[in-house]
Structure 1
Amino acid sequence: MGVVSDGRKAVAVLSKALRSRRAAADVRSRLARQPPHPAQHFRVAVYFADGDVNMYQIRQWYKPLAEIAKVWPVVVLSRNATGARAILTDGAVPVAFAPTVRDVERFIGRQDIRVVLYVNQNTRNFQMFRYGRRWHVFINHGESDKMYMTTNQFKAYDFAFIAGEAARQRLGRVLWDYDLDERTIEIGRPQADHYSGAPPYTPDGRTVILYAPTWEGDRPSAHYGSIRTHGEALAAAVLASPAHRLIYRPHPRSGVVDDEYGAANRRIVAAIAAANAADPAAQHVFDDKPDLGWQLAAADVAIVDISAMVYDRLAADRPLMVTRPADPAALVDTHGYLSDAEWLDAAAASRVLAETARVLSDPDAVSRLEGWVRHYFGDTAPGAASARFAAAIDDLMTRWERWHLASVGEPEGKDDEAELDDE
């Protein structure tokens, strides 16, 4: 069995390498057909070292970045070929493809990058940290009470843009000797000012249930995904009801670690297709599109795992339930909203219609959320978060000018040639 397993791994590695090589050739061909980036033009770089499987992390920032770019030109510095190809295909932001550190160095040398934004904690972020005289800022790709939100990696960045007071308190409980007042800047969730899309069905009298599970996680402490434990029973109950409509929006990484988790995901997708074939009026939805917003507004109740989707829904001021992780090793932070959440246990998943009816009939379900919304996001009036995001970037640019003027004439320094060679 070991030989077979090793063989499969070798095939997978080779397949991935060939896919990456083809993607790199495509990216270079596309960029060669475009005008070159103007020299000394960009002021803000979004560093993205991931492939296309994690595009959800950067896509949600496209529209807020477009607003920033009206004042401070923005470019995505992409290190991975499949990720760069996906961003080029989206066509939302300028792209610089820099697969090696030499490429990064050449690009940095031709531009005037003053702020570098990071949407995740990819280990290759460290390769960008070597470049001083610019601010390195973690902006993340969501707000949640997952353990990811308190990693000690926050300390690697000059600043972190956080959603609100809840994030500040969360970091304060976990990180030692971390200057929250100086290094965190509250901006709310500017993505919420740009929610998009429209329901792909005709609204009727059906109760709409959004089920948006996260992926399975790569370690026991992060086993928040519910597709295997809750999902199939939950979906079966909703699909069997003529009075309900299911919107199923699984995390795009579902199944990347656990094949059985991916198989359960595919069975739910197949069940939705079968239900729609049996009753076209049902109009159940398997949602794998990048647009986010209409789902949160259209659903009468949302069922989500411990993930950023909890807080996206929370900001919509609409009833929601949170799946309780079946793995007792999964870390659950009950200092915040999760201490007051409506939980759905795996054993109750088949009774989801009764559980959601109970939540929907609770007159206090929405009013209880209002205080939590303020705690997590601050002012959620339209445009308020976008204004704070823009103000935070402006402030860093002002700080950059002050430090730059104080250090004029001092050499920045170069890395050794051997250290630069990461091809």
Structure 2
Amino acid sequence: MPSWSDAGRQRLRGPLGGATATVASTAAAGLAVVALVVVAARGPQAVVVARWVLSLLWWVVDAVVPHPASERTRVDAAVVVATRLGGRALLVLTTALGAGPTTSVRWGLGLLLLVAVVEPVLTRLRPPADAEHLPGLGAQRSQRPLGVVGLGGVVVTALTGLLAVTDADGAAWVGLGVLHAAVALVAGAAGLRDLLGRRARSAALRAALERHAPELLVYNGRDDGGAHQVAMWLPALERTGRRFAVVTRGPEALAAVAEVTTAPVVSRAAWRDLDDVVVPSARVALYVNAASTNTNFVGYRQLVHVYLGHGESDKALSYHPSHAMFDRVLVAGQAAIERYGRHGIDISLDRFVVVGRPQLGAIAPAGPRPGDDLPVVLYAPTWAGYNAASSHSSLPVAAEVVRGLLSQPVRVLFRPHPFSRRRSAERGWVAEVEQLLAQDAARTGRDHRWGAQVEQGTEFADSANASDVLVADLSSVLVDYLVSGKPMAVVAAGAGARYATDFAARHPVARAAAVVRPDGTDAGQVLAGLLGADELARERAQVRRFYLGGLTAEQSLDAFTAAITSCVELADKRRVDLEDLADVADVGEPG
């Protein structure tokens, strides 16, 4: 299993992330409009001020807002395009107000505005990257414009600002328009060349994939990465001895997954382009998350569709209703099967296959700890989730939890979920914990660990093996830690006032752990109890069998391989049935 850091490293689309960029660009557009209103209301005297404001504003926006082609959503892209067009248009309009509507200025402004409208469209023509590690497929030209285009864009931006704050004549503006047009044409020519070659490129990709002949297609529906969800299954997939390829739905996910595997990784953003990857050799599609785009792929009925997930936990996503659409659901143990039924998800028992957790072989059982060392507490909170139903994170009270841990004679190992660094609020909570640990380490000399030294270049198993006690939220790490046999506690985040009686009843894994109040205020007291007599050891062993099927890691790998073999055989049978149905249909057609 890859480390959370490696698997969840963020790929910022420029100095600012997508949401922040949207806010920044929207604010910039608003300021530009205000500046134009000031110009219109106060007359020529305000023109000079407006030029300076808009020039500075344009440079700032161009520096911090990523190119629209790299944005995650069309909304973000639209806002960025609107901001850039607005910035250029308002700059030249204020200049026109100051310079006077001479013929040359009108031509210069007209050409500049025309290119400003066309350029973003031209630069977006270039298709995104479509494959990595696929033998026989030549490298695709980069999505980014050629170096000369990028340099030309910088020059155009700089000259636009320069002319806006000086009394440039019309000839200068015409020259700027011509330069701007040249840059756009170079970008457009490169994009048009690739656009016209898309059909040939798709054919070449399919031909290369047919030659590779994968039996298994690992489908990752996340468009923003999710590499760790794929990576945790790679050793088990390689153990099967069958060829596989990974299917992603965007260039960002393609790049992320390509970093964690040498297997072919393909990106097909459009639904219709998924036809390219369903090659004749393909038998089984494996799904590592419950992304909404899974529905795009399950329609290929010649494949057997298998849900793997990316961890065993009592979270709502572990019993999502969409799992009922799969032919097989691979689960770790009986707990998962009962969880679906308990929440009204109707899946017939013959579609469940118990395979344990093949990823847990690296977690060592508890052994003797040196008596002269302070116990190590691993605090591994989960992220805040997509919505309230999927949020079991203690990060909002993480500082309170850590203060409690620091009140005991322990060292703290802090390993938050990688997605915890995607949102500003969660980054703030993580930073607050790291500051507390740094201050305590400086004051007491205790060797706490956090940040890169924990999250980069290591796996969760490394943190589990280095610890004596776990404090976590309702997540898969709680179940995975059961393999170690060590004491653990769970923060009843979001459980409400009746957490003491309701939490374990609704989430059976909590029977194996001491429960910390939802506000985290008793974390120190709970930890003190765990460091004493281990009263839950027998309960943990029972819960482990319930959740992990009583299988060792080696037995889990064998069970996974057997399950895949069974699914391939089912796919072969299904193909025969589908061919028989097609023959019957052909016979029934009128001659």
Q: Is the 8 A contact 1:223 1:327 kept in 2?
A: no
Deviates more, 1:290-299 or 1:13-22: 13-22
Unaligned runs of 5+ in 1: 197-201, 413-423
Query: Residues 278 and 33 from structure 1, CA distance in 2 versus in 1: closer, same or farther, beyond 3 angstroms?
Result: farther
Q: Which amino acid aligns with 1:7?
A: T
What residue in structure 1 maps to residue 270 of structure 2?
100
Match of 1:321 among 489, 497, 507: 489
Provide the aligned C-alpha RMSD in A.
Answer: 3.5
Deviation at 1:28, TM superposition (A): 5.5
In the alignment, is residue 7 of structure 1 matched against residue 26 of structure 2? yes
Q: Which amino acid aligns with 1:149?
A: S
What residue in structure 2 maps to residue 225 of structure 1?
393
Q: Distance in 1 between matches of 2:410 and 2:351?
A: 46
In the alignment, is residue 391 of structure 1 matched against residue 562 of structure 2? yes
Q: Is the 8 A contact 1:139 1:160 kept in 2?
A: yes
In the alignment, is residue 80 of structure 1 matched against residue 215 of structure 2? no
Q: Distance in 1 between matches of 2:321 and 2:512?
A: 27
Q: Is the 8 A contact 2:382 2:393 kept in 1?
A: yes
Query: Residues 382 and 301 from structure 1, CA distance in 2 versus in 1: closer, same or farther, beyond 3 angstroms?
Result: same
Match of 2:402 among 232, 235, 257: 235
Query: Residues 102 and 204 from structure 1, CA distance in 2 versus in 1: closer, same or farther, beyond 3 angstroms?
Result: farther
Deviation at 1:147, TM superposition (A): 1.7
Q: Which amino acid aligns with 1:306?
A: L
Match of 2:419 among 237, 250, 253: 253
Q: Is the 8 A contact 1:76 1:93 kept in 2?
A: yes
Q: Is the 8 A contact 1:220 1:327 kept in 2?
A: no
Deviation at 1:238, TM superposition (A): 4.0
Q: Distance in 1 between matches of 2:315 and 2:435?
A: 30
What residue in structure 1 maps to residue 150 of structure 2?
none
Q: Distance in 1 between matches of 2:434 and 2:427?
A: 11
Query: Residues 221 and 13 from structure 1, CA distance in 2 versus in 1: closer, same or farther, beyond 3 angstroms?
Result: farther
Larger Cα Rg: Structure 1 or Structure 2?
A: 2
What residue in structure 1 maps to residue 41 of structure 2?
none
- Give the match's secondary structure for 2:211: coil
Q: Is the 8 A contact 1:162 1:184 kept in 2?
A: yes
After superposition, where does 1:252-271 map in structure 2 within 5 Å?
Answer: 252-254=418-420, 256=422, 259-271=424-436
Query: Residues 51 and 275 from structure 1, CA distance in 2 versus in 1: closer, same or farther, beyond 3 angstroms?
Result: farther
Query: Residues 263 and 119 from structure 1, CA distance in 2 versus in 1: closer, same or farther, beyond 3 angstroms?
Result: same
Match of 1:369 among 527, 540, 543: 540
Percent identity between matched residues is: 23
Query: Larger relative contact order (C-alpha < 8 A, sep ≥ 6)?
Result: 1
What residue in structure 1 maps to residue 341 of structure 2?
172
Q: Is the 8 A contact 1:276 1:284 kept in 2?
A: no
Query: Residues 172 and 410 from structure 1, CA distance in 2 versus in 1: closer, same or farther, beyond 3 angstroms?
Result: same
After superposition, where does 1:206-355 map in structure 2 within 5 Å?
Answer: 206-229=374-397, 231-239=398-406, 243-254=409-420, 256=422, 259-276=424-441, 282-286=447-451, 287-289=454-456, 291-326=459-494, 328=496, 334=506, 336-339=508-511, 341-349=513-521, 351-355=522-526
Q: Deviations over 1:161-211 (max 9, x none)?
A: 0111111111122235431x2111111111113559xxxxx9960110001
Q: Is the 8 A contact 1:27 1:85 kept in 2?
A: no
Q: Which amino acid aligns with 1:211?
A: Y
TM-score between the two structures when normalised by the length of structure 1: 0.82
Q: Which amino acid aligns with 1:117?
A: L
Query: Residues 98 and 366 from structure 1, CA distance in 2 versus in 1: closer, same or farther, beyond 3 angstroms?
Result: same
Q: Which amino acid aligns with 1:54?
A: G
Unaligned runs of 5+ in 2: 1-21, 30-60, 73-123, 141-204, 365-369, 584-591
Q: Distance in 2 between matches of 1:238 and 1:22?
A: 54
What residue in structure 1 maps to residue 316 of structure 2?
147
Deviation at 1:411, TM superposition (A): 4.8
Match of 1:160 among 329, 335, 339: 329
Q: Is the 8 A contact 1:23 1:81 kept in 2?
A: no
Q: Distance in 2 between matches of 1:8 and 1:27?
A: 34
Q: Is the 8 A contact 1:64 1:194 kept in 2?
A: no
Q: Distance in 1 between matches of 2:68 and 2:473?
A: 30
